Amino acid sequence: MSRNAKQRDTVNIRQVAEKAGVSVATVSRVINRSAAVTSDIAATVWKVVRELDYKPSLAARYMKGHLTGSLGLLVPNLESSFFASIATGALAEAQKHDQVIIISSAEGNRAKEITAIDALSRSVIDGLIYIPVSTGDPLPEVERFRHLPVVVVGRREVFKERPNIYVDNVKGGYIATKYLLALGRRRIAFMAGFWDAPCSAETITSALTLENAGAYSSLDRFQGYLNALEEAGIPYDPELVVVCGYDFMAGYNAAAELIGRLAGVDGIMAANDRVATGVLAFLREQGIAVPTDISVIGYDDGPEATMAHPQLTTVRQDAQQLGKVSIAVMNRLLAKQGNPEDCDCEEAKNNDDVVVDVSLIIRASTTAKPGAF
């Protein structure tokens, strides 16, 4: 164990008070942002806190009912406009309540997610807004926040004892597929995006029955895709499914695989807008006309949708609204602490989930299939 790690494990509030030349009560008031401390004394105490790397017990702070005005936000990847927009919405809502947010990114990697959880668990925060990297299995490391409210965003039934806030992805997959069908498209490909795929294209239907299926937004969208096909009386063809990632090259490569092995595709539902832009690039290189030969629909309605050529028809999920709602739910939990001395955060459990609606934004990447009507 490093010297700093040993020091952090042994440092207590009395040592901070002794080195700062103040009382324990004064250190407590400084850490809790009490107005009853002069700025000079506060500066001295914070200097010692940093020098000793003192970390107040989150559990103790919560049990005593002290709030810092700081929240943690863990996102899978800030390069994604969807997750960045969630952060933007959360920041805007938090500012209304004079709260600050500490943002950390897992960079789409489970190991880095664990590292970020560890760092946030040692930060002085009132609660955690958590957007898991969708690996399906809840990380046991989140148990470190058992004494604090945790709001799960963008996933369904990942932590069933915590509030989950997510968009209606089943509806999203359904309305996108139904629209392509209404345009006369019948060979509609589905690109299932995953950080860590729980299935292959061949086994995706069986993945719908997994206990943790709700952790994967693409499985919900796939269910909507199947619902629309069934409603239209069109048999499901597993050859039309491609499992891919979430970025431009994932879309490019998925389109190359699909078009390389299968003829007659006339519609594509992409995993997100970034994937859709990769699809458009490949189709353009191959001289395949969009939207007449193949119509393409994205998902998110992020900046890529209007920058693409042609501009993307896409399923709009209001990412900023997800962020705003997450803060509203968090503050509801914080306000329901009840008797601080008796609080074990049970009031943060078994809350109703919040489902945010989706809508279809129609642009130039879709059109009626020539000769279909």
Interval 284-331: pLDDT, tens: 999 999 999 999 999 999 999 999 999 999 999 999 999 999 999 999
**8 pLDDT exceeds 90?**
no
**46 pLDDT exceeds 90?**
no
CA 184 to chain centre: 34
Phi, psi of 360 (to 5 degrees): -100, 125
72 against 350, higher pLDDT: 72
Q: Give the type of residue at 261.
A: R
Cβ burial, residue 109 (10 Å; 0-12/13-18/19+):
middle
The Cα 108–Cα 223 span in angstroms is 24
- Could you read off the pLDDT of 79-105 as tens digits, one per residue? 888 899 999 999 999 999 889 999 999
Domain boundaries, the chain: 3-56, 70-166+319-356, 169-317
**212 pLDDT exceeds 70?**
yes
57 against 38, higher pLDDT: 38
| Sign of the alpha-carbon dihedral angle for 165, 319, 120, 334 | negative
Element (H, E) at 25: helix 24-31
The fold of 70-166+319-356 is Rossmann fold (3.40.50)
**CA geometry: angle 138, 320, 191, nearest 5 deg:** 60
Task: Name the band, by pLDDT with cuts 50, 70 and 90, for residue 353.
Answer: confident
E strand segments, the chain: 70-75, 100-105, 128-130, 150-153, 164-167, 188-193, 241-244, 267-269, 295-300, 313-317, 354-356, 358-361
Percent of the chain with pLDDT strictly greater than 70: 87
The Cα 146–Cα 144 span in angstroms is 6
The fold of 169-317 is Rossmann fold (3.40.50)
Task: Name the band, by pLDDT with cuts 50, 70 and 90, for residue 158.
Answer: confident
| pLDDT for res 65 | 57
169-317 has the same fold as 70-166+319-356: yes
The CATH number that domain 3-56 falls under is 1.10.260.40
Which tokens sit at 154?
A: 């963008």
| pLDDT for res 5 | 44
- Could you read off the pLDDT of 263-284 as tens digits, one per residue? 999 999 999 999 999 999 999 9
Task: Name the band, by pLDDT with cuts 50, 70 and 90, for residue 123.
Answer: confident
Task: Name the band, by pLDDT with cuts 50, 70 and 90, for residue 363.
Answer: very high
Average pLDDT taken over every residue of the chain: 87
Q: How far is CA 279 from CA 103, 131, 233, 282, in A?
A: 31, 27, 27, 5
| pLDDT for res 122 | 81
Mean predicted confidence (pLDDT) in 181-187: 98
| pLDDT for res 137 | 67
Mean predicted confidence (pLDDT) in 234-247: 95
Task: Name the band, by pLDDT with cuts 50, 70 and 90, for residue 370.
Answer: very high
